[in-house]
A = this chain, B = another copy of it.
């Protein structure tokens, strides 16, 4: 039984910062702190100290949730369940994130990717409240997505890694090799924030209104949405992250998605402006995602 007043701990574990907060089942965030991501030992020590102080002030949390950068081991029967696995981030490969926090907190602990957490928060408190299935895409330094089916985040062998799907080249984007260290010109290699900067020398927010980069970006993200529709059939797609702050992208992405589907799925919902939309929780999606994972840990 979850009541609105109970406290939950939330950890948004990012590659550049950890955001920690106490919050409530209503989604309200109380005390919050931002900690620079340094080595695992000193970073996690600061995380634990924050919660010790916050709980001394506010009272004990009923459960904790952690939404983390990956890749993660999410299979509960694995000896490295709860580890950050083969990340290129120095010092963080094979870090027992969940074990370290679990030993300190000694409470139920929900754990998933940051994007699965954000998707769950959008489902629980945001624009996806009445849906069974949705996708939350983030386009920034990387391209990632969290997927909800049956009201729960999707994972299996590991977790979706949609940033690395292949797309077809835009005719005006010939010759750019892409920036993905693994694949060069996969989706992330062509459409992430660094890929935009590599082409035009500045972020999309500073691009000229008639720069072809707008059409190129909308085409690649439209291809992603078409693939998501064919692969997952979500009821809606939410798109956030730094690149998606440029709201004029949304219309172009929808048009390109429909062009790539070529009339195959004549659902009026696909044509609606709201099918691909910004997340309602905005910048709070990450920390609220961790909070949602904490709440979810009680019903597992």
Which partner residue on chain B sits nearest A86 by CB separation?
A: B266
| The residue from B183, B226, B231 contacting A231, defined by CB atoms under 8 A apart | B231
| The residue from B158, B165, B229, B260 contacting A227, defined by CB atoms under 8 A apart | B165
Shortest distance from the beta carbon of A59 to any chain B beta carbon, whole Å: 33
Interface string of A126-168 (1 = CB under 8 A from B): 0000011110000000000000011010111111111011101
Which partner residue on chain B sits nearest A260 by CB separation?
A: B166
Shortest distance from the beta carbon of A127 to any chain B beta carbon, whole Å: 15
Q: Is A270 an interface residue (CB 8 A)?
A: yes
Query: Does the CB pair A264–B132 fall under 8 Å?
Result: no
Question: Number of A residues whose C-beta is below 8 Å from B?
Answer: 45
Q: Is A171 an interface residue (CB 8 A)?
A: no
A158 to B230 alpha-carbon distance, docked (Å): 9
Interface string of A77-102 (1 = CB under 8 A from B): 00000000010000000000000000
Query: Does the CB pair A232–B154 fall under 8 Å?
Result: yes
| The residue from B166, B183, B223 contacting A223, defined by CB atoms under 8 A apart | B166
Query: Does the CB pair B262–A182 fall under 8 Å?
Result: yes
Shortest distance from the beta carbon of A157 to any chain B beta carbon, whole Å: 5
Q: Known A149-B149, A165-B227; judge A158-B267 contact (CB<8 A).
A: yes
User: Which B residues are in CB contact (< 8 Å) with A229?
Assistant: 157, 161
* Contacting residues of chain A (183-239) with chain B, CB-CB under 8 angstroms: 183, 223, 226-235
A contact face: mostly helix, strand, loop, or mixed: loop
A159 to B156 alpha-carbon distance, docked (Å): 19
| The residue from B152, B166, B233 contacting A156, defined by CB atoms under 8 A apart | B233
Q: Is A247 an interface residue (CB 8 A)?
A: no
Which partner residue on chain B sits nearest A227 by CB separation?
A: B165
User: Which B residues are in CB contact (< 8 Å) with A227?
Assistant: 165-166, 227, 231
Shortest distance from the beta carbon of A17 to any chain B beta carbon, whole Å: 25
Q: Is A175 an interface residue (CB 8 A)?
A: no
Which partner residue on chain B sits nearest A158 by CB separation?
A: B233
A207 to B263 alpha-carbon distance, docked (Å): 34
User: Which B residues are in CB contact (< 8 Å) with A5?
Assistant: none
Q: Is A1 an interface residue (CB 8 A)?
A: no
Shortest distance from the beta carbon of A229 to any chain B beta carbon, whole Å: 7
A133 to B155 alpha-carbon distance, docked (Å): 8
Query: Does the CB pair B132–A156 fall under 8 Å?
Result: yes
Interface string of A257-272 (1 = CB under 8 A from B): 0001111111101100
A-B contacts, 17 of them at CB < 8 A, read A131-B156, A133-B155, A133-B157, A149-B149, A149-B152, A154-B232, A157-B229, A157-B233, A158-B233, A160-B231, A161-B265, A166-B223, A168-B168, A183-B262, A227-B227, A231-B231, A232-B232
Going nearest first, the 10 A-B pairs with the smallest beta carbon separation are A133-B156, A156-B233, A231-B231, A182-B264, A156-B235, A156-B234, A149-B149, A161-B230, A165-B230, A158-B233
